[in-house]
Structure 1
Amino acid sequence: MEQRRLSQLLALNHELAMALPKSNHVELGTYSQFVVSALQACISADAIVVLQAQGDVLIPQAFTGLAPEVMGRHFKLTEHPRLANIAKAPEQPVIFSSDCALSDPYDGMLLAEDGELPVHACMGFSLYEQGQLLGAVTFDSLTPNAFDAYSRSLLTMIQSTVSAHYSAVLNTHKLAKRAQSGLAMLHELSHQAQNMIGESPPMERLKSDINLVANSDLSVLIQGETGTGKELVARQVHSSSSRCNAPFVQVNCASLPENLAESEFFGHRKGAFTGADSNREGKFLVADQGTLFLDEIGELPLHIQSKLLRALQSGEIQPVGSDKPHHVNVRIVAATNRDLQKEVEEGRFRADLYHRLRVFPLQVPPLRERVTDIVPLAGYFVEQLRKKLGVSQLVIDQSLLEQLKTHDWPGNVRELEHVLSRAALKAKHADWQKDIIKITPLHCELTYVEAAAAEQRNETTLLESSAFSSLKVATEQFQKQLILQKLNNEHLNWSATARTLDIDRANLVRLAKRLGIETIKKVK
């Protein structure tokens, strides 16, 4: 038996060596999947996961035998004692007893499970190079004591073999990224790179564009629908740049009072206007040497746009009430969900400011165009919710995952997060006594949103196919369709819908009631 396993070890070494990249172009996830496949021939397990270390967090790179949501989870070592024990053992594997009281990070996620039984056997080994933790490999089985049959010497040799090959690939991967994007990319692991969830082609293109522009000082205009994650992209641009250790300052242009916008941007001096009781530094000065993120730039009034343009052109700001200008070195990143080109054509946005901001445009794809990212995103959000709700394990039922993948997501990633947050809270309330809490379609409000969308589609069909008897009927049908559409876009938020339609909220509710949209209001 031992001789056969030694032969498997030699085969493992050969397979991993053959899979090593022949150039600096390497996909870490692809190689990690090779590792998983090779290990399956050596060690019998219901689930195997290869994880990469980023600081004190382990992030799955490849797996077998688990629900796909695991790819979106980030396991902080301080919150997962089994993974922490594995990480602290650089020279030998760690086998946990079947009655180990420490929670397993994959409880409830094994595809081989019958019901919701927790994992019975768990083993893992860390991957190190010169004292630095590179990652870990974990093995789980529903068979108690499944890994006791393997000798420690064999498991240690497997650990050493995988660690050596994985180290070579990881170093090649780092060299490739450093060559591609400059030394600033070295900051990536210690900042928020791990939060850019998704490996779909649109996301890969976006990440590539971010890497390309990050280490320059070009102005960036981030465009995308509401809820796509434009702020996250802006932070990624900053954290991957040479300015990453300088301030990242955010201004929400939509919430700026028009009479205080100039003071917010450029600051003011004591006594400059009523209420100016002391000197105040503006956002430009606070962001000096760093990045100024102008969120919802399309909402900025025209007269403020002209003053902002002067600051961008000259690099000089003048606080309200001061005669002395200040020079600042600020990198501008702006974001909007509006079509600024159309806004320019219709006279609501300055053409010169538009071109000044749009030196390097970044388009954030809507969630419906990156369907393959929905499951890992759901896994990421559920792991965060597990910690916030203080439960041992929180998982998503497979049937719900299928529903999530088919939903249109008009609110994009933000809607996905909020839907899962509400569902997780309901699931915890229903099964608070269980160690493994499963989110099912019964806990999810997705059906209500789908019902609103279905009603909207029915109204659209009616408009297109019916010959109305009067202008009044046609007008009412159009109003009803428009309100339903805007409600769906704003996640059934009546206040936001009223703002979008430029109507008082109370008047909108009364109009909706007259048009027979009461059912949608009750859902909200």
Structure 2
Amino acid sequence: MTAKPLLTALLPLVSDLSRDLPDRERYRRLLQAMRSLLPCDAAALLRLDGEWLVPLAVDGLAPDTLGRRFKVSEHPRFQILLSNPQPTRFASDSELPDPYDGLVNTPQATLEVHDCMGCPLMVEERPWGLLTLDALTPGQFQSLELDALQAFASLAAATVTVAERIEHLALRAEDERHRAEVYRQASGLDRQLIGQSPAHKRLLEEIRLVGSSDLTVLITGETGVGKELVAMALHQASNRADKPLVSLNCAALPDTLVESELFGHVRGAFTGAHGERRGKFELANGGTLFLDEVGELPLTVQAKLLRVLQSGQLQRLGSDREHRVDVRLIAATNRDLSAEVRAGNYRADFYHRLSVYPLHVPPLRERGRDVLLLAGFFLEQNRSRLGLNSLRLSSEAQTALLTYDWPGNVRELEHLIGRSALKAMGRHPQRPRILTLEASDLDLQLAQAPSPAAPASGPQVPERLPPGGLREALDDYQRQLIAACLQKHQHSWSAAARELGLDRANLSRLARRLGLR
């Protein structure tokens, strides 16, 4: 390769070094220039994060690749590339599985990568990540000069160094270096808050904004959107990140144990209290307490919690001694607590103390193509779990994921990918090198709401709302549904709870509110 084509490809990148560009755009230009210099079917820039490689930009690969997290120890080609400071070119007939098998966007029938080459990126003399190139045609890289890839890798290292220094300077200006480092992890590395949609970016920005404060945050959103991950990200973005994050699912405990879990108890406080025990507040002292399903707290507990939040003082059950705690509270619920306040089921003063900063987590159906990135993350997890070389989505399966409404959000997607991978495995008497999930494997039409022509069995929505309006109609529907489920299971509350997808304690509490117990 002559010097002129090399300079033609590299000069725009040199110019970009002095420009203030978003990281995604900077890395996209980097890969485009590399593909013009070194013709290939796909290219990727991956960052090394502990024992994982995280794709930051891809060109020519399936969109779900950006959501995947590659464990280096499970991919021998990545191990070899990282262990060699010089560029590496694999033989076309290499038997080593390629991480991108089945992921290259191509109209060709073949799915396996035949030619592969790559180079580690060194920043401050340490491995920062990888540049990789792949081709489906055997021998396509044989005539390419490794020196050209080495030159390009050096400029790529300069590019990522500039990107990180620009970010570092911006963070210093805000005096948030440590907090923003953890925020960067929460945006898609350690905490798997994966996404690129505008709705997801707004959520990350709010996490960055309120995370650095001590304000009480009420995280709201539908079931399965990832409220616990958001709570973890808020803690990691705070000044308390090096202190404990203690969690309690308020719906998973009977009312009689909630106070003990929160405030602790002394010996003899109640039957079974054989010793003294610290509660979640004391365990979280100096750090953060996360109360999940906070809408399920009994009114009596709400009153005691309010006192602790206002004064920072608590008493263990059975004790008169005051304990002072310094705790930041983060709570989460999928219920409309303002409606619960109006209905008299929730204390107004406690609700306002919880919702100092309301933070809404968007449902998956509002996040566009984020569903493919999240699918990629779960596909890579299941690929490893099932011992496959590659697990991918067909184009029809991708379309099915994008058009589905996702009532169960990210949790539903996670379970769907795991279930569909097992079903697809069952279609093959022998384990395939590349397993493709088809739209039929996803079977999403079964989860869609029934059409008016084929109404679902069981309780029906009334044509006219009762005098109490929508809330009373919903309560009436829940009564019918729970009663029918209990009758089906011969009044076994545990079996009914499993079918309804609720914790037994949560179902019991709901039944009491509806007058069924």
Shorter-chain TM band = 0.7 to 0.9
More deviation, 302-311/438-447: 438-447
Q: Choose which of 444, 452, 467 in structure 1 pairs with 2:442.
A: 444
2:374 maps to 1:377: yes
Q: Which residues in structure 2 correspond to 1:117-266 (within 5 Å)?
A: 117-177=111-171, 179-180=173-174, 181-188=176-183, 193-194=188-189, 195-266=192-263
Decide whether aligned partners of structure 1 residues 134 and 173 sit closer, same or farther in structure 2, where only a CA change above 3 A counts.
farther
Decide whether aligned partners of structure 1 residues 360 and 178 sit closer, same or farther in structure 2, where only a CA change above 3 A counts.
farther
Distance 1:499 1:145 in 2: 68
In structure 1, the partner of 2:508 is none
CA contact under 8 A between 1:128 and 1:167: conserved in structure 2?
no
CA contact under 8 A between 1:424 and 1:439: conserved in structure 2?
yes
CA contact under 8 A between 1:386 and 1:393: conserved in structure 2?
yes
Counterpart secondary structure, 1:317: strand
Decide whether aligned partners of structure 1 residues 353 and 163 sit closer, same or farther in structure 2, where only a CA change above 3 A counts.
same
In structure 1, the partner of 2:83 is 88
2:97 maps to 1:103: yes
Note the C-alpha offset of 1:149.
0.9
More deviation, 177-186/351-360: 177-186
Decide whether aligned partners of structure 1 residues 456 and 225 sit closer, same or farther in structure 2, where only a CA change above 3 A counts.
farther
CA contact under 8 A between 1:55 and 1:190: conserved in structure 2?
no
CA contact under 8 A between 1:27 and 1:173: conserved in structure 2?
no
Note the C-alpha offset of 1:187.
3.3
Note the C-alpha offset of 1:27.
2.2
Distance 1:443 1:265 in 2: 44
In structure 2, the partner of 1:283 is 280
Instruction: Supply the AA of the counterpart residue of 1:330.
Output: V
Decide whether aligned partners of structure 1 residues 193 and 108 sit closer, same or farther in structure 2, where only a CA change above 3 A counts.
closer
Distance 1:69 1:52 in 2: 17
Decide whether aligned partners of structure 1 residues 338 and 476 sit closer, same or farther in structure 2, where only a CA change above 3 A counts.
closer
Instruction: Supply the AA of the counterpart residue of 1:161.
Output: L
Distance 2:304 2:387 in 1: 48
Note the C-alpha offset of 1:81.
1.8
Q: Choose which of 421, 426, 430 in structure 2 pairs with 1:429.
A: 426
Counterpart secondary structure, 1:478: coil
Note the C-alpha offset of 1:179.
4.2
Decide whether aligned partners of structure 1 residues 34 and 192 sit closer, same or farther in structure 2, where only a CA change above 3 A counts.
closer
Note the C-alpha offset of 1:360.
1.3
Instruction: Supply the AA of the counterpart residue of 2:25.
Output: T
Decide whether aligned partners of structure 1 residues 424 and 274 sit closer, same or farther in structure 2, where only a CA change above 3 A counts.
same
Q: Which runs of 5+ in 2 are unaligned?
A: 466-476, 491-498, 501-517
CA contact under 8 A between 1:121 and 1:140: conserved in structure 2?
yes
Note the C-alpha offset of 1:56.
2.8
Q: Which residues in structure 2 correspond to 1:364-443 (within 5 Å)?
A: 364-431=361-428, 432-443=430-441
Identity %: 42
In structure 2, the partner of 1:49 is 44
2:296 maps to 1:299: yes
Q: Which runs of 5+ in 1 are unaligned?
A: 461-474, 483-496, 511-519
Note the C-alpha offset of 1:439.
1.0
CA contact under 8 A between 2:82 and 2:127: conserved in structure 1?
yes
Distance 1:419 1:400 in 2: 12
Q: Choose which of 474, 482, 503 in structure 1 pairs with 2:483.
A: 503
Q: Choose which of 429, 451, 454 in structure 2 pairs with 1:455.
A: 451
**Hey, which of these two has a bigger chunk of helix by percent?**
1
Note the C-alpha offset of 1:188.
4.4
Decide whether aligned partners of structure 1 residues 21 and 250 sit closer, same or farther in structure 2, where only a CA change above 3 A counts.
farther
Note the C-alpha offset of 1:171.
2.3
In structure 2, the partner of 1:40 is 35
Decide whether aligned partners of structure 1 residues 9 and 47 sit closer, same or farther in structure 2, where only a CA change above 3 A counts.
same
Decide whether aligned partners of structure 1 residues 76 and 457 sit closer, same or farther in structure 2, where only a CA change above 3 A counts.
farther
Instruction: Supply the AA of the counterpart residue of 2:98.
Output: D
In structure 1, the partner of 2:461 is 478
Note the C-alpha offset of 1:280.
1.5
Distance 1:190 1:409 in 2: 26
CA contact under 8 A between 1:498 and 1:505: conserved in structure 2?
no
More deviation, 401-410/104-113: 104-113
Distance 2:479 2:208 in 1: 36
Counterpart secondary structure, 2:9: helix
In structure 2, the partner of 1:515 is none
In structure 2, the partner of 1:486 is none
Note the C-alpha offset of 1:78.
1.7
Question: What do residues 310-332 of structure 1 show as CA deviations (whole Å, max 9, x unaligned)?
Answer: 11111112111122111111110
2:340 maps to 1:343: yes
Counterpart secondary structure, 2:166: helix
Instruction: Supply the AA of the counterpart residue of 1:438.
Output: T
CA contact under 8 A between 2:186 and 2:193: conserved in structure 1?
no
CA contact under 8 A between 1:125 and 1:136: conserved in structure 2?
yes
Question: What do residues 333-355 of structure 1 show as CA deviations (whole Å, max 9, x unaligned)?
Answer: 00011111111111111111111
Decide whether aligned partners of structure 1 residues 263 and 231 sit closer, same or farther in structure 2, where only a CA change above 3 A counts.
same
CA contact under 8 A between 1:248 and 1:290: conserved in structure 2?
yes
Q: How many matched pairs?
A: 476
CA contact under 8 A between 1:29 and 1:61: conserved in structure 2?
yes
Distance 1:136 1:457 in 2: 55
More deviation, 145-154/32-41: 145-154
Question: What do residues 74-112 of structure 1 show as CA deviations (whole Å, max 9, x unaligned)?
Answer: 11212222122222233x211111122221110111122
Note the C-alpha offset of 1:455.
2.2
Instruction: Supply the AA of the counterpart residue of 1:137.
Output: L
2:59 maps to 1:79: no
Instruction: Supply the AA of the counterpart residue of 1:89.
Output: N
Note the C-alpha offset of 1:481.
12
More deviation, 172-181/399-408: 172-181
Note the C-alpha offset of 1:507.
3.1
Counterpart secondary structure, 1:164: helix
Question: What do residues 224-261 of structure 1 show as CA deviations (whole Å, max 9, x unaligned)?
Answer: 01111111101111122222222111111112211111
Counterpart secondary structure, 2:461: helix
Note the C-alpha offset of 1:46.
0.6
TM-score by length of 1: 0.85
Decide whether aligned partners of structure 1 residues 480 and 109 sit closer, same or farther in structure 2, where only a CA change above 3 A counts.
farther
